Structures are given as C-alpha cells and as structure tokens.
C-alpha cells in the first residue's frame, strides 16, 4: 500500500474540487462527501502505517516519486512524497482528527447556505496539510505550508460580511507570511550550501557536511522564523487569537490540531540543522518557554472562551517548542498528538456551546451549562483535565515528559519556568470550566444538547484525550517514541536530574494546585470573582489585551508603515518623480513661449532675417577666403 500513499492527499483534493464547483447542487451531501473522503484517506493512512510497521526499523523510509516539478540546471525539485514514521504520525493526526472534525461540521454548518464552499476549503486544507507533512523536499513542504496558510485565510474569513473576520483573515495570512519569507530565504540558503532540497540528501548530508556551524545557525534560525509564524509563537503570535473569528470547526482543525503544529513538525523534521548549530536550539527553547508562560497568563485574562482556547493553543505550542529546544523531539511530537485530541475536543465542545447559545462566546454570560448539555460538558471537562495534566489522561503523560526533559536536560531554571507555565495552564483551563459549565446560569435563551452527528466525533475525541497517553507511557520505551526513533533519534535513559516518579509527582502537584486555585476563586463561591475583576481591572485589561503586543505593533509598525507608504506615494512619487517629469515638460514649454516671439507673422520681418542671414554667410565665407 505504500505506493498508494498519493491517494491520501489526492482524495482530499478531489473532494475540494467537487465541492467547489458542485457544492451548491450537492447541498447537504457536500459535508458527507467531504467527510467520507477524509475517512477514506484515514483508512489508507492506516494501511500505510501498517505496511510501514512491517518493515524493519531502519528501513522505514519510503519515497514516492510523482513527477519533476522545477528543473533548472543543477536545481532539481520533484513532487516526491516521503513516508516515514514522523510523516505517517502526522498524516494520521491530520486525516484522523480531520475526519472527525469534518463529520462534526456537517452538524455545525447545517444551516449555512455556503456549506459547499466550507467543505471545499476544509478539504483543500487537508490536501495542503498532507502535502506539507508528506513532502520529501523543502519546496513541496513550502507548497503545503503556504497552501494551509491560504486555507486558513479563506476559512477565518469565511463569514466575510463581518469586517472583523475579514481583518482577522488578512492579519493571519500576512503575519504568517512574514515568517514564511524568512523561511523561503532559509530554503534558498539550504540549496546554495548543500546543493539540494531533498530531505534524504540534505538532512543526512547536514551531519557530515564540512560547512561551518554558523551557516547552519543562520539556516536554522530562518526556518525557525517560518515555524514561529505558522505556530503562532512569540513574537508572531498575534494572529491566532484573532483567527477565532472563523467557524469553530476551523479553529479546531486548523488553529489547534494541525496547521499550527506545522512549525513543530518543521523543527522536528530539520532538527539536524538545529543540533549542528546549537545556538538555534537554545533559541527554540527560549521562544517556546517565553510563549508557554506568556500565552498561559494571557489566557487567564480572556472572557471570550474561544480566545482562552486560542491562547491556550499558543501556550501548548510553546511547550512543544520548549521540548524541541531540549532535544526531546519525540516528546514534542507526543504532545502534538495528544494536544490535537484534547484541544480539538475542547474547540468542538465550545462550538457545541456556541451552537446552543446562539453564537455567544462571552463566558460572563454562561455558567451551569453542564445541566443542559451533559455530554458536551463532560467531554469538555475531560479535555480540560487532560490539558491541565491530571493523571491518567493523555495530557498528563505528554506534558510530564516535556517537563521531565527539562529537568533531565540539567537546566533547572527552565524546568521551574515550565512548571509555572503548567500551573497557569491548569488555572486558566479550570477557570474556563467553572465559568462555563459550573455555577449559576447567567445565560438567556434555550440551550440544548447538540445532535448526534456532532456528539459522536466529540466522544471519539474524548476517547483519544483520555487514552492517548497509552501511546507513550514512558518517554524511553513508549510506543510512539520507539516508532519515531528512526527519524528523531533514540531517546536515552536520563542520566541526570530527578527520578521520573519524583518529577511526575511534582507535575501532578502543580496541576492540582492550579485546579484547586481555579476552584477556590471561580468554583467555590467563597470569593467574589466579579469583584476581583473590578479591583484588578488594570491587570485584567493587560492580560486580556495579550500584554498589549497588538497595540504596540499597530503603533510601532502599522501606523508608520502606512504613513511612510502615503509619503512615498503622494509626496515622493506624484510630487518628486512625476513632478520632475512634468517639470521637464514645463521647461520646454517655457523655452518655447520665449522662442515663439520670433514668429511675428509678418513676412517682411522674415525677409529681413533672411537678409541678415545671407549677409552673415557672405561675411563668414569672405573671411574664410
């Protein structure tokens, strides 16, 4: 079946094409078609996994050549697909979680007149995401990379009548494109230094290359810039909270489970470069850590529950980057997988709530929803507990491995900061639970539980969020780390730091502290959190505005940019350059207006001039003779 792996992306592409051109005619069937294709793709992906697993560990790489894309002299790039443990893992996440979200969307988008287009874009997204993870060279990866950005743009701005959604879409595209451009330069540099863009050549060559490590630092940092943009890490994270303007399944699929993890995938895929550089690895670690803490605090200040989830995603991605920076690649991918389960689950549950509450997203107007939406409430809480790191849910194992890696890496400061971030994570997510599902109802209207077509995917994802930990019970011997070892390297038994049991215990305590803290403030009823908000309004606003990073960007970058552009366009271009052109024209007009006075129109004047001319010539000739 390995040879048939091309079907996985192509099925989604076919779905996109059909729904784009015939979506209107298909009506309700559009969603079923899109979902069926995704399920089929998932099925093929599973058989691919099966075939791959049959091979011995070191031979688990299969490259499928489709056709030559760009060939100019020594520059050769083909459309090649790479099947190896890492890409298969990603492919399974994309198709598996993707299929569930597609099914869920059938219910969620039922009443939208443009659902054909919606599913076309969703399928198109899946296609590009699959190209991204299956790419065998940087250029195809870049194709998928930009393609998912496009679909993200289309889907964030899906309800384009709302200016705020349209703005968010554009912001997402442009912000990520800034990172992408750095990445493109990085890709160019890879080719110029290593003479190829194929992973098979470049990544193995990187190790044995005689290039100075400085080159790899530059390359790695440029690639990292792309990853930072796409994975919404500080400082290019500003687009993700705004991206919540899209339909909620989009947030689940693109802005939680798959696209935003592309950066993590990229760094994991090219970890060879980062390791040679060393410096770059430290940068990854710092970016991840800063983002994890920053976003977790910002999440605490949000009232819009989709924005909480958005900041939570940023924070969790920060954890993944942190793990990458610690060389715990398998742990990062493990967290990526479990995160895709519980975050998709939470987003979809949030969608359920919005569905029930007429698109209300303000948590101040919720509360006590568990009574009317028991299933949604339960699965959401499972996801939240998983995120908080409560054993034995999936998030506990994955996050614990990341934090343990910090301890084993020997950097105690990083370990402590990561624990702080974990504490805040538990705090904000439980705050969300208490404000939304527990306590006194503050909503109006008649919320109701969602239909089965939405609940079934929720339940399946909840299974993943609960049992996902089984994939990697231990960082060393777990199923997933062992499977990924041929690509990401063996995970060795730690030699330093505390014992795993001790670390786990500390993690659990931190998580429970967070849960308890949230309960004390928002759940117990002993503290008046509304009054607390009022008393610390400044802090609240600071956190809610995401530390005002957006405002700083708009005053420091956007406003001067606009002003500069206006000056160039209206003063420099129209005034100076075109002014110079018109000035030349005016100069000749001025000269002519003097010169034309000679033309009196009187024949005798001309005749006189004639005479003078003749005399002058005679005089000249006379002197010459």
Partner 1 sequence: MNTPIAYFLVVSAALFTIGTVGVLVRKNALVIFMSVELQLNAVNLALVAFSRMHGNLTGQVLAFFSMVVAAAEVVVGLAIIVAIYRRRASANVDDVNLLKW
Partner 2 sequence: MKWLTLTTFLPLAGVVILLPWRGVRDDVARVVAMVVSVATFVVSLVILGRFDGSATGFQLVEQATWVRSPHLQYLMGVDGISLFMVLLTTFLMPVAILASWPVEKNVRFYMASFLFLETGMIGSFLALDLLLFFLFFEAILFPMYLIIGVWGGERRVYSAVKFFLYTMFGSAFLLVAILFLYAKSGSLPGGPTFDLRQLVHLGLSTAAARWLFLAFLVAFAVKVPLFPLHTWLPDAHTEAPTAGSVILAAILLKVGAYGLIRFNLALFPSGVEYFRTFVQVLAVIGIVYGAVVALIQTDVKRLVAYSSVSHLGFVVLGTFALTQQGMTGGVMQMINHGLSTGALFLLVGMVYDRLHTRDLFEMGGLAKGMPWLMGAFLFVALSSLGLPGLNNFVGEFLVILGTFATNRALGAIAATGVVLAAIYLLWSYQRMAHGTVPEKHANHPDLTVRESAVLAPVLALILVIGVYPKLLLDRINPTATRVVNQVVQSQTAGTGPASGTQAAGEGS
Residues forming the site for partner 2 (CB under 8 A) = 67-75, 117, 139, 142-143, 146-147, 150, 153, 157, 160-163, 166-167, 169-170, 173-174, 177-178, 181, 184-185, 188-189, 191-196, 205, 209, 211, 561-562, 564-566, 568-570, 573, 577-578, 581, 585
State which residue, 21 or 610, has the beta carbon closest to partner 1: 610
User: What minimum distance in Å lies between the beta carbon of 248 and partner 2?
Assistant: 20
Place of tokens 């309004």: 537
Q: Which partner from the list partner 1, partner 2, none does 307 bind, CB cut-off 5 to 8 Å by kind?
A: none
User: What minimum distance in Å lies between the beta carbon of 576 and partner 1?
Assistant: 33
Q: Which partner from the list partner 1, partner 2, none does 207 bind, CB cut-off 5 to 8 Å by kind?
A: none
Q: Which partner from the list partner 1, partner 2, none does 143 bind, CB cut-off 5 to 8 Å by kind?
A: partner 2
Please choose, from the candidates 382, 411, 379, the residue with its C-alpha nearest in 3D space to the C-alpha of residue 395. 382
State which residue, 142 or 424, has the beta carbon closest to partner 2: 142
Please choose, from the candidates 225, 226, 483, 453, the residue with its C-alpha nearest in 3D space to the C-alpha of residue 337. 483
User: What minimum distance in Å lies between the beta carbon of 622 and partner 1?
Assistant: 15
State which residue, 18 or 328, has the beta carbon closest to partner 2: 18
User: What minimum distance in Å lies between the beta carbon of 586 and partner 1?
Assistant: 18
142: number of CA atoms within 13 Å, CB side?
21
DSSP helix/strand/coil, 63? strand
Only segment of 202-210, 229-237, 250-258, 601-609 that touches partner 1 (CB under 8 A):
601-609
Planar angle of CA 577, 583, 584, nearest 5 degrees: 100
State which residue, 55 or 590, has the beta carbon closest to partner 1: 590
Query: Judged by CB under 8 A, does residue 616 bind partner 1?
Result: no
Q: Which partner from the list partner 2, partner 1, none does 611 bind, CB cut-off 5 to 8 Å by kind?
A: partner 1
Task: Give CA torsion, residues 501, 507, 509, 514, to 10 deg.
Answer: -170
State which residue, 556 or 615, has the beta carbon closest to partner 1: 615
State which residue, 21 or 588, has the beta carbon closest to partner 1: 588
User: What minimum distance in Å lies between the beta carbon of 594 and partner 1?
Assistant: 10
Q: Which partner from the list partner 2, partner 1, none does 490 bind, CB cut-off 5 to 8 Å by kind?
A: none
CB contact at 8 A, 510 and 419: yes
CB contact at 8 A, 10 and 123: no
State which residue, 147 or 439, has the beta carbon closest to partner 2: 147
Among 207, 532, 608, 616, binds partner 1 (CB under 8 A): 608
Planar angle of CA 340, 140, 483, nearest 5 degrees: 45
Q: What are 135's two structure tokens?
A: 């790419």
Q: What are the start-end ranges of the H helices in 55-114?
A: 85-108
State which residue, 496 or 596, has the beta carbon closest to partner 1: 596
362 DSSP β-pair partners: 304
State which residue, 147 or 395, has the beta carbon closest to partner 2: 147
Identify the sign of the CA torsion 378, 384, 387, 391: negative
Contacts of 441 (CB under 8 A, 6+ apart): 366, 367, 368, 369, 371
Query: Judged by CB under 8 A, does residue 604 bind partner 1?
Result: yes
First to last CA, the chain: 104
Contacts of 135 (CB under 8 A, 6+ apart): 80, 81, 82, 141, 143, 144, 199
Q: What CA–CA distance (Å, rounded) separates 425 from 322?
A: 15
Among 602, 623, 624, 625, binds partner 1 (CB under 8 A): 602
Among 66, 532, 607, 619, binds partner 1 (CB under 8 A): 607
User: What minimum distance in Å lies between the beta carbon of 69 and partner 2?
Assistant: 7
Query: Judged by CB under 8 A, does residue 590 bind partner 1?
Result: no
Q: What are 279's two structure tokens?
A: 């410096």
CA 406 to chain centroid, in Å, comes to 25
Sites of contact with partner 1 (CB under 8 A) = 596-597, 599-604, 607-608, 611
């Amino acid at each position: 079946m390995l040879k048939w792996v091309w079907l996985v992306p192509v099925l989604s592409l076919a779905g996109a094409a059909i729904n784009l051109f015939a979506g209107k005619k298909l009506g309700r069937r559009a969603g079923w078609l899109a979902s069926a294709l995704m399920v089929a793709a998932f099925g093929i992906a599973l058989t691919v996994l099966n075939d791959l697993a049959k091979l011995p560990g070191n031979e688990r790489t299969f490259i499928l050549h489709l056709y030559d894309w760009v060939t100019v002299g020594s520059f050769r790039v083909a459309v090649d697909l790479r099947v190896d443990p890492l890409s298969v893992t990603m492919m399974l996440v994309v198709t598996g979680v993707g299929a569930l979200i597609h099914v869920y969307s059938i219910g969620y988008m039922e009443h939208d007149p443009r659902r054909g287009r919606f599913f076309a874009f969703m399928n198109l997204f899946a296609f590009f995401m699959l190209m991204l993870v299956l790419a065998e060279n940087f250029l195809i990866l870049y194709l998928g990379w930009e393609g998912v950005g496009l679909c993200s743009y289309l889907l964030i701005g899906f309800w384009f009548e709302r200016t705020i959604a349209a703005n968010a879409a554009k912001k997402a595209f442009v912000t990520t494109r800034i990172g992408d451009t750095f990445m493109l330069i990085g890709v160019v540099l890879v080719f110029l230094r290593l003479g190829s863009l194929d992973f098979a050549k470049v990544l193995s060559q990187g190790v044995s290359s005689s290039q100075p490590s400085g080159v790899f630092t530059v390359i790695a940092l440029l690639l990292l810039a792309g990853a930072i943009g796409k994975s919404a890490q500080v400082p290019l994270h500003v687009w993700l909270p705004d991206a919540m303007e899209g339909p909620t399944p989009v947030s689940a699929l693109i802005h939680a489970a798959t696209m935003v993890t592309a950066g993590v995938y990229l760094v994991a895929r090219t970890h060879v470069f980062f390791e040679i550089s060393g410096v770059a690895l430290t940068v990854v670690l710092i970016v991840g850590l800063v983002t994890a803490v920053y976003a977790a605090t910002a999440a605490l200040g949000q009232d819009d529950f989709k924005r909480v989830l958005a900041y939570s995603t940023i924070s969790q991605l920060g954890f993944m980057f942190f793990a990458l920076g610690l060389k715990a690649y398998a742990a990062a991918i493990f967290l990526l997988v479990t995160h895709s389960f519980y975050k998709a689950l939470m987003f979809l549950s949030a969608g359920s709530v919005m569905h029930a509450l007429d698109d209300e997203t303000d948590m101040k107007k919720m509360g006590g929803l568990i009574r009317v939406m028991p299933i949604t409430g339960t699965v959401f809480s499972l996801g939240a507990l998983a995120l908080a790191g409560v054993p034995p849910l999936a998030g506990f194992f994955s996050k614990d491995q990341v934090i343990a890696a910090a301890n084993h890496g020997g950097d105690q400061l990083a370990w402590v900061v990561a624990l702080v971030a974990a504490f805040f994570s538990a705090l904000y997510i439980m705050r969300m639970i208490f404000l939304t599902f527990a306590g006194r109802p503050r909503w109006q209207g008649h919320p109701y539980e969602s239909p089965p077509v939405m609940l079934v995917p929720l339940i399946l994802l909840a299974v993943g969020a609960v049992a996902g930990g089984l994939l990697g019970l231990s960082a060393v011997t777990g199923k997933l780390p062992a499977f990924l070892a041929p690509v990401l390297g063996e995970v060795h038994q730690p030699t330093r730091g505390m014992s795993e049991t001790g670390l786990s215990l500390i993690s659990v305590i931190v998580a429970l502290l967070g849960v308890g803290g949230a309960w004390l403030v928002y759940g117990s009823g002993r503290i008046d959190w509304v009054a607390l908000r009022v008393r610390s309004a400044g802090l609240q606003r600071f956190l809610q505005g995401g530390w005002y990073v957006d405002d700083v960007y708009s005053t420091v970058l956007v406003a001067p940019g606009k002003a500069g552009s206006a000056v160039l366009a209206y003063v420099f271009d129209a005034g100076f350059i075109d002014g110079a052109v018109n000035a030349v024209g005016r100069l000749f007009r001025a000269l002519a207006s003097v010169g034309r006075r000679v033309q009196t129109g009187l024949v005798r004047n001309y005749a006189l001039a004639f005479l003078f001319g003749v005399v002058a010539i005679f005089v000249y000739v006379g002197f010459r003779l």
